Amino acid sequence: MTAKIIDGKAIAAELRGRVADASHRLARDRSLVPGLAVVLVGHNPASEVYVGSKTKMAVGSGMRSFDHRLPETVSEADLLALVGRLNSDPVVHGILVQLPLPAHIDAQKIVAAIDPRKDVDGFSPTNAGMLTTGLPALVPCTPLGCVILAKTGRPTLEGLEAVVIGRSNIVGKPLVQLLLAENATVTVAHSKTQDLPDVWPPR
């Protein structure tokens, strides 16, 4: 099989264009401007860059961006209270709490507190469970992006063998579910896999 280079930048640009078109149609036809609330706790340099990029992309797509920057010392109770307010705010349609969070805050508790309908990261137990059972759900963007990229090279992934390296809740596990939904045969390798070269590439 001949290798094929996937032009991720071109695919991303095309996707951003479609999102912007959909956003503008909502504003024109329904007077509805999608609103994304992004919550950043502390001053993690990588997280600040990531959040800045998300905010820029949201605004560039015709959405409203509501940034909430909280000190490293914010209490878990105060963060939960903010999530509760965003859940009930009608102009906020998506909520993203940037991870990682400081050690004194239970990240799972915060993620579980987000309204599943606004959980744009797809990390909540509700969305994760719906994805696992094959129901429509909000899906983490990285694994979904992997499937989109893979399908640019082939119109269908049905019957292919895929090896997913990693079993995180953010990428590995949801990617497995997305590939299974595409009718691929999936093997999962991880840090305890005995002999990775024997697993990848699939024979």
Which entry of 54, 118, 119, 177 is annotated as an active-site residue?
Answer: 54
* Per-residue pLDDT at 24: 96
Listing from the earlier edge strand, what are the strands of the sheet with 35-41? 64-70, 35-41, 94-97
- The pLDDT tens digits of the residues spanning 93-151 come to 999 999 999 999 999 999 999 999 999 999 999 999 999 999 999 999 999 999 999 99
CATH number of 139-199: 3.40.50.720
How confident is residue 3, by pLDDT bands cut at 50, 70 and 90?
A: confident
Structure confidence at residue 1 (pLDDT) = 60
Q: Answer yes or no: same fold for 8-118 and 139-199.
A: yes
d(CA 186, CA 52): 35
- Going from N- to C-terminal start, the domains of the chain cover 8-118, 139-199
Within a 10 A sphere around the Cβ of 21, how many other Cβ atoms?
Answer: 12
Tell me: pLDDT of 7 over 70: yes
Contact in structure between 79 and 105 (CB atoms under 8 Å)? yes
Output the pLDDT for position 203.
61
Considering Cα of 170, then 172, then 178, then 180, what sign does the dihedral take? negative
**Whether 98 is catalytic:** yes
CA distance 161 to 85: 44
The beta strands (E) that lie in 56-203 are given as: 64-70, 94-97, 161-165, 185-189
pLDDT digits (tens, 9 = 90+) for 69-101: 999 999 999 999 999 999 999 999 999 999 999
Q: In 3D, which of 51, 45, 47, 43 has the Cα closest to residue 67?
A: 51
pLDDT value for 5:
87
List 119, 121, 173, 177, catalytic entry: 121
Q: Which two tokens stand for residue 173?
A: 């596990």
Active-site annotation holds for 67: no
Domain covering 8-118, topology: Rossmann fold (3.40.50)
pLDDT tens digits for range 24-56: 999 999 999 999 999 999 998 999 998 999 899
Of 29, 78, 89, 98, which is the active-site residue?
Answer: 98
User: Residue 2: pLDDT above 80?
Assistant: no
Q: What is the pLDDT of residues 165-174, one digit of tens each?
A: 999 999 999 9
Task: Indicate if 106 belongs to the active site.
Answer: no
